[in-house]
């Protein structure tokens, strides 16, 4: 493992000249800079995977194709000196920070990667063209860096899903590795955009993780309730059985009692999240919800009530003041055994 400061590379030629030992694995972490502890976690994971003889390359590039508004592009923080320090401390060997002209030498590329139907949902609907631009630059950077594995955070769950789909559909032959979301002690997911929040705005923004955790807790409670209810003799009525278990509130829940589903309905999970988000919308500094959705992680389609089995992602996006934030948590829905 290289303990020296990460080497700053500004061109494709410098990157090509970096080289690596025969048989050594190369891991890449793609960022737009403004690195924080979440990025450092990705770099450390890449370092561990690459091993002491391997190589970790961090890319820092604010990709104009991903931004729908020029003002948002101009506002994005650029902190290369600090990024080099974070990357070095986390174990990176090199930081590839090319200019726009280096990545797109002929101007905006005429040929681009298209995200397809998944790229039109949720974040894609809110930010048309965003995922096409993201996949185009990820494809270019994968070709330039030629890694064995690329590391992405689960916080950008839809981006992660699309990169995985692109790598599979287009035979990139690269491992796409997911790293869990990193959160501040108050629960807010780490993001370069958090620096734009005032103290009052941050207080409101905490509704995002609270909503996700409330939904997770609702899911766990209902699954526990159903498991307990299954121990009651079948001759007893379901509502009476649940009341007998001391779950008067749950006995009044039409999802848990009247329908008596073996799985927990997505509508109940979403209702728990929406209750927290609706309350935040009434704060002095309000939260403006873009979406909250329970989706299949494979294609980001909504999970229907009648097929609520398997892995799912509960995703939320909202604006607080001028800052737009996203967050999500993975959930497991399934029939009880």
Q: What is the spatial distance between Cα 129 and Cα 5, in angstroms, rounded to a whole number?
A: 36
318 contacts 289 by C-beta, under 8 angstroms = yes
Q: Is 198 annotated as a binding residue?
A: no
Q: Is 32 annotated as a binding residue?
A: yes
104 contacts 141 by C-beta, under 8 angstroms = no
Q: Is 193 annotated as a binding residue?
A: yes
Q: Is 83 annotated as a binding residue?
A: no
Q: Is 39 annotated as a binding residue?
A: yes
Q: Is 36 annotated as a binding residue?
A: yes
Residue whose C-alpha is closest to residue 69's, from 118, 129, 11: 129
Longest dimension (CA), the chain: 76
Q: Is 175 annotated as a binding residue?
A: no
Coil/strand/helix, residue 303: coil
CA distance readout (Å), 135 to 17, 100, 129, 235, 335: 25, 16, 10, 56, 36
- Tell me, yes or no, if 130 is annotated catalytic: no
Q: Is 156 annotated as a binding residue?
A: yes
Q: Is 34 annotated as a binding residue?
A: yes
CA distance readout (Å), 329 to 117, 293, 332: 22, 11, 10
Q: Is 191 annotated as a binding residue?
A: yes
Angle made by CA atoms 122, 123, 125, in degrees to the nearest 5: 65
For the chain, how far is it from start to end, CA to CA, in angstroms?
A: 47
Q: Is 178 annotated as a binding residue?
A: no
Q: Is 13 annotated as a binding residue?
A: no
Catalytic residue among 39, 130, 143, 226: 39
List b or e across 156-181, with b for residues whose CB sees 16 or more CB atoms inside 10 angstroms: bbbbbbbbbbbbeeeebebebbbbeb
Write out the binding residues for (R)-pantoate. Answer: 66, 159
Enzyme catalytic residues = 39
Q: Return binding residues for beta-alanine.
A: 66
Going by the annotation, the residues of the binding site for ATP are 32-39, 153-156, 182, 190-193
Which residues does the annotation place in the binding site?
Answer: 32-39, 66, 153-156, 159, 182, 190-193
């Amino acid at each position: 493992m290289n303990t020296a400061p990460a080497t700053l590379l500004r061109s494709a030629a410098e990157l090509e000249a970096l080289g690596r030992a025969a048989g050594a694995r190369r891991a890449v972490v793609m960022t737009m800079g403004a690195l924080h502890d979440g990025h450092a976690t990705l770099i450390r994971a890449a370092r561990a995977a690459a091993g002491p003889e391997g190589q970790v390359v961090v890319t820092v590039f604010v990709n104009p194709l991903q931004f729908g508004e020029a003002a948002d592009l101009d506002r994005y923080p650029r902190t290369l000196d600090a990024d080099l320090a974070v990357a070095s401390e986390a174990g990176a060997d090199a930081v590839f920070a090319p200019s726009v002209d280096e990545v797109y030498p002929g101007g905006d590329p005429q040929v681009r990667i298209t995200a397809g139907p998944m790229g039109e949902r949720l974040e894609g609907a809110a930010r048309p063209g965003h995922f096409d631009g993201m996949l185009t630059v990820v494809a270019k950077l994968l070709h330039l860096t030629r890694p064995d594995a690329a590391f992405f955070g689960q916080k950008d769950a839809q981006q992660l899903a699309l990169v995985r789909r692109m790598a599979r559909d287009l035979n990139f032959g690269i491992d796409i590795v997911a790293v869990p979301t990193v959160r501040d002690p108050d629960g807010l997911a780490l993001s370069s955009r958090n620096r734009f929040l005032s103290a009052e705005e941050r207080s409101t923004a905490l509704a995002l993780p609270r909503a996700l955790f409330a939904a997770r807790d609702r899911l766990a409670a209902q699954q526990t309730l159903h498991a307990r209810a299954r121990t009651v003799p079948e001759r007893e009525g379901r509502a009476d059985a649940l009341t007998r278990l001391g779950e008067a509130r749950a006995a009044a829940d039409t999802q848990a009692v009247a329908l008596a589903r073996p799985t927990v309905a997505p509508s109940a999970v979403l209702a728990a999240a929406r209750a927290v988000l609706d309350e935040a919308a009434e704060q002095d500094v309000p939260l403006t919800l873009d979406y909250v959705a329970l989706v299949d992680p494979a294609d980001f389609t909504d999970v229907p009530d009648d097929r609520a089995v398997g892995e799912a992602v509960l995703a939320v996006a909202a604006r607080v003041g001028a800052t737009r934030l996203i967050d999500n948590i993975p959930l497991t829905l399934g029939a009880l055994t």
